[in-house]
């Protein structure tokens, strides 16, 4: 969560070569990449990206322990899920794979803390009350840190990153579905990486 201000959240459909895309993102300053398990290309893309120098590739939209195991075997170095369930958290903890579960309420955060977790994805960020909601949630949980994802834009990312409780944001705007223009991806990624300064 500290390696870059924005984690590209990728839904890959085969329109871009995963290795070239990963190289483009790393060169632009975004080495941490989340490949969502929403397409048949996801695990293969993780395998390819895991071999690219400088990349920290993880799997997103992980819904159960079986997907976690498959993603880790493909080379995922971290796991992101849209929600928090005890079976998935137990598998992540026992496997030692860094785990970022989705939370949207105080109860979610408390369940995570009970499991020994203190880093979460705030999801879906924009429709769960946005910045005011996260500020309110962060108040009673001073040591918890978040990666807001869902509805974050290039225009709003800096506002989220200005919050003390936010280490990074998920960026689905960096690579669109059916994207083929790597120069445009690189420019968006450079702009996102500059948010760290």
- Write out the catalytic residue numbers: 34, 121
**In the 8-state DSSP scheme, what is residue 166?**
B
* CA pair distance 65, 155, nearest whole angstrom: 35
Structure tokens at 42: 């996801």
* CA pair distance 106, 100, nearest whole angstrom: 16
* Residue 13 backbone dihedrals phi, psi, to 5 degrees: -115, 10
The residue assigned the tokens 């120069």 is 183
Residue 154 contacts residue 191 (beta carbons within 8 Å) = yes
Residues 6+ apart with CB under 8 A from 51: 19, 75
């Amino acid at each position: 969560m500290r390696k870059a201000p924005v984690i590209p959240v990728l839904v890959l459909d085969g329109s871009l070569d995963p290795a070239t895309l990963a190289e483009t993102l790393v060169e632009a300053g975004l080495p941490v990449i989340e490949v969502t398990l929403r397409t048949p290309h996801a695990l293969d893309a993780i395998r390819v990206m895991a071999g690219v120098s400088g990349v920290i590739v993880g799997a997103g939209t992980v819904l159960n322990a079986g997907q976690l195991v498959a993603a880790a075997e493909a080379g995922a170095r971290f796991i992101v899920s849209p929600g928090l369930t005890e079976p998935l958290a137990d598998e992540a903890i026992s496997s030692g794979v860094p785990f970022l579960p989705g939370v949207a309420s105080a109860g979610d955060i408390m369940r995570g803390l009970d499991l020994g977790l203190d880093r979460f994805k705030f999801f879906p960020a924009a429709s769960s009350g946005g910045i005011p909601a996260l500020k309110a949630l962060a108040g009673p949980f001073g040591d918890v840190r978040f990666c807001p994802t869902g509805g974050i834009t290039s225009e709003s990312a800096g506002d989220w990153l200005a919050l003390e409780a936010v280490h990074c944001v998920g960026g689905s705007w960096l690579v669109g579905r059916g994207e083929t223009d790597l120069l445009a991806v690189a420019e968006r990624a450079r702009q996102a990486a500059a948010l760290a300064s």
